[in-house]
Amino acid sequence: METCMTTPALQGDCAEVEEAMGEYAGFWLRFVAYLIDGMILGGAIVVICGLLFLVFYSVIREMPRHLDPSDRWELWPFIIVVYAVECLCLSGCWLYYAMMESGPHQATVGKRAMGLIVTDADGYPINFGRATGRFFAKALSGMTLAIGYIMADFTPKKQALHDMVANTLVLRYDLKAAEQPQSNTNQ
């Protein structure tokens, strides 16, 4: 008996796992999952930016009200704060997606809410490196005027451009079917 595993909840022989996994996830399910994740990350970013604004308020308050265009150095504290916040937000988003999709549930909070998991092309969990590549490949999906995302509804395996680059799949799964006790076939 060949044993398959995609998540801790989806373990057993391959036929049981494939039955629980279901079909490929199309654009709209993924879009709703993205909106849920966006609300979570957006809320975190608002809190972080608010805290950083309070911390750097004294720097911003001390900036001259009428900047001299010939003196570029007057803006450096503001520019440093902006870049620091941008780097912090990008790093936070990257870690959120990469750690969650390569973690034991193989899904972000939004994907879990929609019953989706991220796997490699063979249905196995992805590692942190592949999840990182998938995250940064999303820039390609966005640079194509979002056609890279929309194409998830038109490809045979419902892959977006970043899924093709990272060789991953987003699958629907029936967690209730996966949680049912497995029958012992050795009896």
Q: Check if the beta carbon of residue 6 is closer than 8 Å to that of residue 12.
A: no
What sections of the chain are H helices per DSSP? 14-21, 27-55, 57-61, 76-101, 109-113, 128-143, 147-150, 161-166, 175-179
pLDDT per residue as tens digits for the range 102-131: 999 999 999 999 999 999 999 999 999 999
Higher pLDDT, 22 or 86: 86
pLDDT confidence of 30, banded at 50, 70, 90? very high
Identity of the residue numbered 185: T
* pLDDT on residue 62: 67
* Entry pTM: 0.79
pLDDT confidence of 17, banded at 50, 70, 90? low
Reply yes or no on whether the pLDDT at 159 is more than 90. Answer: yes
Comparing 16-25, 117-126, 173-182, the range with the smallest average pLDDT is 173-182
Angle at 161 between CA 145 and CA 131, to 5 degrees: 120
For residues 31 and 149, what is the distance between their CA atoms, to the nearest angstrom? 9
The whole-number average pLDDT for the span 168-185 is 69
For residues 108 and 65, what is the distance between their CA atoms, to the nearest angstrom? 44
pLDDT confidence of 57, banded at 50, 70, 90? confident
- Tokens 């150095």 correspond to 73
pLDDT confidence of 56, banded at 50, 70, 90? confident
E strand spans, the chain: 3-7, 10-13, 116-120, 168-172
Q: Are strands 168-172 and 10-13 parallel, antiparallel or unpaired?
A: unpaired
Higher pLDDT, 131 or 78: 131
3-class state of residue 76 by DSSP: helix
Q: First and final CA of the chain: distance in angstroms? A: 14
Nearest C-alpha neighbor of 122 from the set 162, 98, 157 = 157
Average pLDDT, the chain: 84
For residues 51 and 84, what is the distance between their CA atoms, to the nearest angstrom? 13
Contacts for 53-62 with beta carbons within 8 Å, 24 or more apart? 56/81
Residue spans of the domains in the chain: they are 26-62+73-178
Nearest C-alpha neighbor of 128 from the set 106, 110, 161 = 106
What does DSSP assign to residue 105? T
pLDDT confidence of 53, banded at 50, 70, 90? confident
What does DSSP assign to residue 144? T
Higher pLDDT, 115 or 84: 115
